[in-house]
Amino acid sequence: MREVALVYLDRSGGLQKFVHDCKKYNDSKQSYAVYRFIISINPSDIAELDATLGNYILHNPLQAAQIFQSVCFIAIKTLSLIEQLQTEAQISILLKPTHLPPLPSYVLSLSAYPFNYTSQRFYMSEGIVITMGTVTKYTQGARFLCTEETCPFSEGFRYIRVHCPGATESATVRTDFVCSLCSSPLQEDMKFRVLGDKQIVEMIDVKVLNALKGYSNDKSHFRIQAFTVFLR
């Protein structure tokens, strides 16, 4: 699947954009713990190249991102795109689909019952924003070091924490991480913390418009429930 991912990036122009993004990182005088790349993907085109990878992206996007992460790391090392990069863990890949299949199973509707949305795959959702919070910061990535000075992991980029979709802030940054080699506590290197913007919005399903218009579908009872969306 790595080979297919590389072929798709080359054919779609994503590889050229990736090389351009790497050049911006390499030309920067700032040191980074995490190098973040957004890759636009067309699921239909990938499925035509390889159905397995196309299905993997649609239904296991977090694991699929690791495939692209490995491909991008090899490309960076082979072409010497970012001299400061040391480990694959420093690369954060965000897969951004151009569209999803126009099928009911890919539409997230909180007005339908039962709510069988247990998988961490891509869904489409349409709604009306009723409340917007202020834009705040969150930790996209952080570097941790072993507190034991004699430990090999007291330097370098062995311990990189990267925010994953759906995770809380404490999953990325905490004080109880320990070294896998010597079991000593890990301490964050604050100089390498990577911050991003997030905004919380409240939404309601578009079907609520029927109720607001006075439309009745012979149901004696119904309730309107807002749901929260995190924009990062």
1-99 is classed in which CATH architecture? 2-Layer Sandwich (3.30)
Q: Please state the φ and ψ torsions of residue 105, each to the nearest 5 degrees.
A: -70, -10
Neighbouring CB atoms inside 10 A of 33's CB total 24
* Tens-binned pLDDT, residue by residue, of the chain (232 aa): 999 999 999 999 999 999 999 999 999 888 888 999 999 999 999 999 999 999 999 999 999 999 999 999 999 999 999 999 999 999 999 999 999 999 888 888 777 766 777 778 898 888 899 999 999 999 999 999 999 999 999 999 999 999 988 888 888 998 899 999 999 999 999 999 999 999 999 998 887 777 777 655 655 566 778 889 999 9
Predicted confidence at residue 60, as pLDDT, reads 92
Predicted confidence at residue 17, as pLDDT, reads 95
In DSSP notation, 27-65 reads: H-SS--S-EEEEEEE-HHHHHHH-HHHHHHHHH-HHHHH
Predicted confidence at residue 113, as pLDDT, reads 65
The answer to whether the CB of 31 falls within 8 A of the CB of 192 is yes
The answer to whether the CB of 124 falls within 8 A of the CB of 97 is no
Neighbouring CB atoms inside 10 A of 210's CB total 12
Burial of residue 144 (number of CB atoms within 10 Å: 0-12, 13-18, 19+):
buried
35-41 and 136-146 strand pairing: unpaired
CATH 3.30.1640 residue ranges for the chain: 1-99
Burial of residue 184 (number of CB atoms within 10 Å: 0-12, 13-18, 19+):
middle
Q: How far is CA 208 from CA 12, 126, 203, in A?
A: 40, 12, 11
Give me the residue label for tokens 């495939």. 67
Find out whether the peptide bond into 114 is cis, omega within 30 degrees of 0: yes
DSSP 184: P
CA distance 131 to 141: 28
pTM comes to 0.85
CA distance 208 to 126: 12
